[in-house]
Chain A
Amino acid sequence: MSTKEKTFWWIGGLLIVVYAMFPIAWIISLSFKAPADLTNGSFLPTDATWQNYALILTGDASSLFLPALRNSFGIVLIATALASLLSMFAAYAIARLDFRGKRLILSTALGVAIFPVISIVTPLFNLWRNIGLYDTWPGLIIPYLSLTLPISIWTMSAFFREIPWEMEQAAQVDGATSWQAFRKVIVPLAAPGVFTTAIIAFFIAWNDFVYGISLTSTQTARPVPAALGLFTGASQFEEPTGAISAAAVVVTVPVVILVLVFQRRIVAGLTNGAVKG
């Protein structure tokens, strides 16, 4: 490749980084603007201030934001764990066993994945009110399984298919008990796939807005995206822009760190399920 060509692709790569970071940089910049500075019409704050962060973490808006943060983490982690557990068994069966109905299970997962979420919300809204699951953690964990299970099953089956399962027998021939063979050979081989799938499932549930806003009404169960959508200013005349930006940064930063640390695996996981990478 000539130097000119190299420079060309280098600039292309740089443009992608700018493309990806631009709105993030903007919302970070916005979160450091003081209320009077919000309308200065420029990208950067005149004087950076922490007061928006103080507002959502210790101030007036903290009673809205902190419970939402706790709800989001709790509900999403439980839903991810449940989905990972269920799909681990299913993916093992799909990758290793020969049984009728395998196709049915995978087609069902695909069907559930393309299902319009709002079509599920309408009946659940009514049912949850009747059986007391409305505005509770389980009331969100259960529907979150519809978001996390299909992708978990597909991604994990794709990962499990790549595992050299013969190594289990090889270890047993070498004198390992079947438990040892499983723990020392299969678990280390399967763990990366399970872990990657769990991260992707976590992103999907963490991103949910439709269920969050429709099936909760108070801070007992309302997750962060829904709380952000319903944020209002301290008074009727004050725009909540600064507080929303600060809250957005707080919930975005951990996810961005996760992405940066595990980018290689996430790319493999995302493309494995749909297109063989």
Chain B
Amino acid sequence: MSTVITPPGQKAPPQPTAARGGSSDRARSEQRLGWLLAGPAFAVMLLVTAYPILQAVFDSLFDYRLTDPENRSFTGLSNYWVVLTDRIWWVSLAVTLFITVVTVAVELVLGFGLAIVMNKALSTIRPVVRAAILIPYAVITVVSAFAWQFAFDINSGFVNGWLGLGEFDWFGGTWSSLFVVCVAEIWKTTPFISLLLLAGLAQVPEVLQEAARVDGASWWQRLTKVTIPNMKAAIMVALLFRSLDAFRVFDSIFVMTAGANNTETVSFLAYRQTISRLEIGLGSAVSVLLFLCVVLICVLFIKGFKVDLGAARGE
């Protein structure tokens, strides 16, 4: 299985145009027009990401506080040493990984259930269900975080009343806080996963299902032996995108706990170092480490699980 990313523009294998002899004027002008049209978008993308991350790498090598800009000094990798030997970094990394693993696992199962229901739902209610499922996707993360926070809040919430928990303070401890954060994240992003899975579900040939049914396979056997293996690519793409997204969790943490009770995530740590404490050097080091984590997750998925982004689109 190849690990290349097949762009959506390529349906047929690319024909060598300019390469053959390289004398075709048409091919050359197409080459020029292509870059003329796509170049600006490409340049802007590089400008707003590649440049800042390089600047962050540069800044991370300095002892640099905005409150004391005169004393900026080159310190090499010592910022990284400071971050990596601090317990705060490892706690925030563990919290981030915990949120990522829990939310993505629950979302995959829940999203699969939603996709099956949407796939089976009768045509009369299908538009209603599909419109409803988009609502969590369209709601601002901050709004969703507030809604769930208020629901669990000891003063304004109804959850304690409904569950008969009395005066239980959900935001008083690490695990209960993280539970509420996960609930909010799961509610907001499951629809995205379920829509990707629904598209994958539509690609499983009906003939295979029929054949398995005729052979006397049970519902569960058909699900695990026919449906899931046939949509492995779609599942992997959904997992990859959601994992990367979940790893960047910031909004919910900011709104719900502000990092209290050891609930700080890596993104929040980077924010706090840079924007609140104005430690540009340290904040940049955390940002670069976060970036490396994301790259690592990506590589693990693509090499380890052999995610083929091209195959996922049925090409």
A contact set with B: CB distance below 8 Å: 6, 9-10, 12-17, 19-21, 23-24, 26-27, 30, 38-39, 41-43, 86-87, 89-90, 92-95, 97-112, 114-127, 129, 142-143, 145-146, 149-150, 153-154, 157-158, 161, 203, 206-207, 209-210, 213-214, 224-225, 228-229, 239, 241, 244-245, 248, 251-252, 255-256, 258-260, 263-264, 266-267, 270-271, 273-277
Contacts and interface: CB of A to CB of B under 8 A. Distances in A.
B275 A125 contact: yes
A16 B133 contact: yes
B83 to A, nearest CB: 13
A17 B128 CA distance: 8
A110 B45 CA distance: 11
Given A116-B294, A276-B313, A161 B8 contact: yes
Interface string B188-217: 000110011011101100000000000000
B155 A39 contact: yes
B229 to A, nearest CB: 16
Contact of B251 (A94, A111, A210, A256): A210
Interface in B29-55: 30-31, 33-35, 37-38, 40-42, 44-46, 48-49, 52-53, 55
Nearest to B244: A114
A172 B130 CA distance: 40
B143 interface: yes
A143 B48 contact: yes
Nearest to B241: A274
Interface string B1-45: 000010111110011011000000001001101110110111011
The B interface is mostly helix, strand or loop, or mixed, namely helix
Contact of B313 (A87, A104, A260, A274): A274
Given A20-B135, A30-B156, A277-B202, 19 more contacts: A13-B117, A14-B125, A23-B147, A30-B147, A39-B155, A41-B160, A86-B44, A105-B7, A108-B45, A119-B56, A119-B287, A122-B284, A127-B52, A153-B41, A209-B142, A213-B275, A256-B138, A258-B138, A266-B134
